[in-house]
Each structure stands twice: as structure tokens, then as C-alpha cells.
Chain A
Amino acid sequence: MTWLNQIIQGVLLGGYYALIACGLSFMFGVMRIINLAHGSLAILAAFAMFVLADRFGVQPLAGLVAVLPAMAVVGWVLQRGVLERSARGGQLVPVLSTFGLAVVVDNLLFQQFGADTRSLAPYAGSLAYDSWAITDDIYIGRLAALTFATSVLLLGALQLFLTRTALGRQIRATAEDPDTAGLVGVDARRANAIAAAIAMVTVGVAGGFLALRATFDPYAGGPQLIFAFEAAVIGGAGSLWGTLGGGIVLGVAQSLGAQVSPQGFLIAGHAVFLAVLFGRLFRGRFGLRPRAA
């Protein structure tokens, strides 16, 4: 029964990983860029919500509504100021520039907030600890369920947006071939900037849920980037639903690993990631597949 419980908790944890990974996967699918500041920007959003809750008494979920438009602006500026310029320098420059950005964001947060770990849980009332008892041994936390549901909704909405709307089609067309998209009247720069803004909104959502379900500190961005990346790669594609699957695999692996030993949580996650890569060695399919949706 303990094992079953660990698996259920792992699946729910996977919902959070899918949430943090979906922006990474989306951005890779659309712009072929892996943003190394991804995790740091999620932590930035978390701190923004923390400040709103701590100084101004704003409820975390209301704070999220305020932070998301700001994150969209961050995404737009990031695309126009950093990513667009770096992408012109080839495949490697974005890696370097976004790494530099991550170092800047992390250390500025440290300068501002110090080394203390923070959490939004104290401001979330009963949401932080309420749970439903399924059997005597198995409980499902309300927050964990809400996180999972949010990630399914968000992924579904992104999927619908990319396949059913004109803007989504423009973004996909830009992803396939920006020059040809330009010929048929798509403004590739605008499409990419909108895509980056959307990706950062999902990063904001992920940062908010991270702050609610756990503690964070200024240097927590790195691990979040790694989890997002692992979920996206295990998911195997720029495919959004694949990301959910990847998140669940990662969450379950970590959860089972934690059952074995305290260090097993992280070790199992990284090991599953490397095992998946190793497995693909023999199948010829590697890494994130560069396509949107």
C-alpha cells in the first residue's frame, strides 16, 4: 500500500513537473531555443507573488493573476532583447546568453531577499494542507490535485491554441520555416515574441505552484530548470502531452526513489533521465524533437 501511495504521489508530483516543463518544451518547439534562465524566471515569479502576499496581503491565487501579465511582458522583452539577438549567432549563443541571464537573475534575487527559504503555503490557508482520504493509507492533497488539474488544463489549452487559432497557426508556421511564413504574411518576430510571452506565462504559473507546494530560495532556479528539462526530454518530443507523460515518469521515479533512501529522490530522477537517453541510443530517436504541437 505504501508503494501504491508513492506512485500516486509521484503522478501528482509529475503534474507539477509538466507545469514547469511545458514552457520549456513549448519554447523549444517554437523557437528551437532552450532557455537556461527558465528555472530562475520561475523563481522570480515566485518571489513576486511572495512579496505581494507578504507586504500587501494579496492572496496567492489573486497574486498569480497579477504576476502573469508581468511575466508575459518579461517573455516579450526576453525574446526581443536577448533571444532574438542570440539566435542570430547560431545554436550556441542562446545557451551562453541565457546562462548569463540566469546567473544575473539568481544573484539579484539573492541580493534582494538573502539566503532565507520562503514559501507561500502560510498565506494559502487550508489549501496548503487539506487532503482527501481515499483509503486509510492514501491521501490526495488538494493542492497537489489542483496542480495536476492546472497542468492538464494548461497543456490542453496550449494544444488547442496551437492547432485551432489563427495565431497558433502563425506560431507553428514560424516554427517550421520563418522565411516561408514571412512570404505568406506572418510577422515572424511578432509570432516569436508572442510565443515567448506565452511560455513565460506558463513559467509564472509553475513558479506560483512551486511557491505554494514547497519552499524556495534565490538559487532554486537551477534545480527547477533541470526538472523541467528532464520531464521535457523524457516526454520525448516538443509534444505537449509527451511533456505530461515525461513529468509523470520523473515524478514517479523520484517518489519511488525517496521510498528507498532519502538521497534516492534526486538520484532516481536523474538516473531515469539518463536511462531514457541510453535507451534511445538503440532506437535512433534523441532528445527533444524540434516541432511545435
Chain B
Amino acid sequence: MAGMPPVDISKLQLVQELEIEMMSDMYNRMTAACHKKCIPPKYKDAELGKGESVCLDRCIAKYLDIHERIGKKLTQLSVQDEDLMKRMQTEQQQQPRT
């Protein structure tokens, strides 16, 4: 990473902290969601059943997959929005001149 431009370390730290916070929030939500979907509220046994384990594995894989897809779509939309805004701004600036 020698070729990297000098970055504000405090800013980088802030971004990292935010990322970690978001990750742990996502993790907690995922745990709650998969618990709700995979573990029936009958606790006759303290062990995870085979079906429950498989369900959890799939639930996590799917949750993370959806998380990624939605993130991609959101960034895509925000990029589109930004482009649109820029175009509108330049158009507005050009209008009074013509």
C-alpha cells in the first residue's frame, strides 16, 4: 500500500468504526431473523436439531446474499441519482446563457 495517497487517519478510523457498527447491527438482525425462521418455539431439547442446523446454515447464506444484492442495488440507484442531479445542475447552468 505504498502507492496510496495520504489519507486522513482520523477519517479512516471513523469510517472503519461505522463499518464495524453496521456489521454488528446486521449480524444481530440476522441472528434474530434466522432464529425466528428456523427454531420453533418448543424447547423440548437443548440440542440443535439436524433440520434446524441445516435451516440456519441456509438462512445465513441467504441473508448475506440478499444483504449483498440489496447493497449493490442501493449503490447503483444512488449513483444513478447522483448522475441525474449533476446533469440537471449543468442543464440549469446552461439555460440562462442560451
Please determine whether chains A and B interact with each other in the same assembly: no
Chain B residues proximal to chain A, CB less than 8 Å: none
